[in-house]
A and B are shown apart, each in its own frame.
Chain A
């Protein structure tokens, strides 16, 4: 990044690409060429900035101006005003919702102020398709240091003392895992990266791979050196084409510079990495299932032990770590375990990346120190609930996790506290729900997912979850009874105790945690046959209040099934037999004349 006066960083994350960031880059480059500025201004595609809600993001260096919701048409103004005349394009700056002030530097935005970026340190700063930019930010320095020290145990000790725990869900201490794998002698071992990211509401691993692929490659090589593996394998979802492409480019560039391949940096250590593609099966995120899938089989889990460290890929000792876990490794080596372990809580060190989504103002990817509270995440970083509605619950841990309510808002987030609260850290999905979400339906949503994704190998999971789903469905249709609630609880316990793998052992969690925290809501469904959130179609009906209806006819015209009739200027009526409860009339009526019962 030398001779240019300005660098324009354009977000190349999937969210921003979907809202035309490649076209923005092209327009900017065209304008730069038109003004003969190609030697002064460079446009760079970077990884995700995290603030997806306000995407596409364009950032200008050196003055750190952060433009939001940019369109390709804005390129002209950005070049003419900002680059040529040195005046910020005010209309594209972020408006602080509290003070209504425009903020030009992301440092002053609520969304970024409480964040601490370790795993995401390079995302949004470097061009992920250029290894030089990674190297310029100390890339591969940790690998060089580890190889120079030439003492695997010393590096393992650093990771152990740092307190880093696996970010893929289980939270197993990473250093210890490496130590176990290092002690199993074998002619061939494997360092495996789990990039299957199956939680349907999580996209942190993908953002790391898209925004900073080299950090994962570097960490895998370090891990390979520590456990004595000369091969690295990355199992990545086929649904992530951009991440796959960036990884392929990164591997090629690293090989060209001798940072992967034979005799890396003349150390005598050889390590190379291959990609394996998933094909859309959630259970393949489970490590034994993943290994079977890499061997070309159905991705069915097997009983542990043997653990992968004993018998993994092709029956050889293998070590499986998550993408985000790897992304922490190089920094820990360079900055020291003391620094890393000073961040976080007693048993959860460092930071965690969360995909913050749902009914919240600032949807995006955030990285926060362990020990931050949900309240800080939701109200300060997330900017509060969308549309000024009331907070109801936050779901963490995906299909294996649970819902947390208002009473947990001030609990520090870490592995142990989330487990104690009936949820779990999981891989980092964090879905915020407001008062319009029905918790029985949320549980049903997850069970629907589990039923589809259960591999079918063990019957508690295959049959039990199907029965759970049917019970929940019955309740949302208003046909449930109190007995069904007891049955839900008992069956959930049996499934947890008897299922073969982590998928089945945790699949009833969404049911149990919503029953625990929202018992009244379940009761309302089975006793009063009402859905308090108004989401269950079968339990609600739309009516017109004759006192408020002025007979404008808007509802009748918009009704997709012609269920509303009435004379002009006279109160209308809804034919309940025809009504499909789509809610269109309710949304269209300007006179508050339609109510839900």
Chain B
């Protein structure tokens, strides 16, 4: 088990070990450990999963099985400004698909991808619960409601010169 080659930084590894310790390295707590690790790293690279598997003493395949099962967990780093377009039913019947298409078109990426500059990533999610504002998209923590495809260009341009923010 200890033959794995870890490419992540030592501090990162230490932090993950610390997270596992805080949950007593219990396999029952795997989902909580993964939540905390993703909070910290922003995503769950294979190396992080290996560290967790070793700590909790389960096969890496089991950790990967959980990561790949739950849509909340991701193995791809998100962009600096993660975009999520709500594809809940309420948003769908009010035209969310067209809004999503426009994001894809303007950013030239697919759902689940991050653009080459690492600035935006695109995801779809199910119901943020702001159905009164449908269709809705989130960029970072900010909610944009009552969207039409025409609005997207302007919204993206809000992030033109904020390289240094966040």
Contact = CB atoms under 8 A, between A and B. Distances in A.
Nearest to A238: B72
Interface string A189-209: 000000000111111001100
A279 B35 CA distance: 8
26 contacts: A15-B129, A15-B132, A18-B145, A19-B145, A52-B131, A200-B87, A206-B129, A207-B129, A238-B35, A276-B31, A277-B35, A279-B31, A279-B34, A279-B70, A280-B71, A296-B28, A299-B70, A357-B89, A357-B131, A359-B94, A363-B90, A364-B132, A431-B89, A442-B93, A582-B98, A582-B149
A279 B71 contact: yes
B130 to A, nearest CB: 4
Contacts of B145: 18-19
A318 interface: no
B31 A201 contact: no
A402 interface: no
Q: How large is the interface on A (under 10, 10 to 19, 20 to 34, 35 or more residues)?
A: 35 or more
B132 A363 contact: yes
Nearest to A283: B69
B134 A280 contact: no
B120 to A, nearest CB: 20
A239 B125 contact: yes
Contacts of A364: 132
Interface string B143-162: 10100010000000000000
A433 interface: yes
A433 B89 CA distance: 10
Given A279-B35, A280-B70, A357-B90, 7 more contacts: A18-B128, A18-B136, A53-B132, A282-B126, A363-B131, A445-B89, A455-B69
Nearest to B28: A296
Interface in A8-24: 14-15, 18-19
Interface in A109-156: none
A298 interface: yes
Nearest to B32: A277
A18 B126 contact: no
Interface in A204-226: 206-207
Given A200-B89, A200-B127, A395-B89, A357 B134 contact: yes
Given A201-B131, A281-B69, A582-B149, A296 B92 contact: no
A374 interface: no
Interface in B9-52: 26-32, 34-35
B66 interface: yes
A277 B90 contact: no
Which 6 pairs show the lowest CB-CB distances between chains A and B?
A52-B132, A201-B89, A357-B90, A279-B70, A18-B143, A203-B129
Q: How large is the interface on B (under 10, 10 to 19, 20 to 34, 35 or more residues)?
A: 35 or more
A437 B134 CA distance: 16
B133 interface: yes
Interface in A310-365: 355, 357-359, 363-364
Contacts of A508: none
A449 B30 CA distance: 26
Nearest to B128: A14
Contacts of A279: 31, 34-35, 70-73
Nearest to B56: A296
Interface of B: 26-32, 34-35, 65-66, 69-73, 87-90, 92-94, 98, 125-134, 136, 143, 145, 149
A203 B133 CA distance: 13
B130 A52 contact: yes
Interface string A246-285: 0000000000000000000000000000001111111000
A297 interface: yes
Nearest to B27: A296
A429 B31 CA distance: 28
**Interface core residue of A55, A198, A203, A364 (most chain B CB under 10 Å):** A203
A398 interface: yes
A45 B94 CA distance: 29
B71 A431 contact: no
B130 A358 contact: no
Nearest to A386: B94
Nearest to B149: A582
A535 to B, nearest CB: 10
A207 B93 CA distance: 22
Interface string A295-312: 111110000000000000
A296 B87 CA distance: 28
Given A203-B129, A298-B69, A299-B70, A437 B93 contact: yes
B148 to A, nearest CB: 9
Contacts of B73: 279-280
**Interface core residue of B29, B32, B88 (most chain A CB under 10 Å):** B88
A171 B30 CA distance: 32
B131 A203 contact: yes
B55 to A, nearest CB: 14
B36 to A, nearest CB: 10
Contact of A297 (B66, B94, B126): B66
Nearest to A295: B28
A395 B69 CA distance: 28
Contacts of B133: 15, 18-19, 52
A293 B31 contact: yes
Nearest to B144: A18
A190 B29 CA distance: 18
B88 A200 contact: yes
**Interface core residue of B71, B73, B131, B143 (most chain A CB under 10 Å):** B131
A52 B145 CA distance: 12
A447 B93 CA distance: 15
Contacts of B69: 281, 298-299, 455
Contact of A431 (B72, B93, B143): B93
**Interface core residue of A198, A277, A437 (most chain B CB under 10 Å):** A277
A298 B66 contact: yes
A14 B136 CA distance: 12
A452 B124 CA distance: 12
B31 A449 contact: no
Contacts of B126: 198, 200, 282, 449
Contact of B131 (A15, A238, A295, A398): A15
A358 B90 contact: yes
Nearest to A434: B93
A49 to B, nearest CB: 11
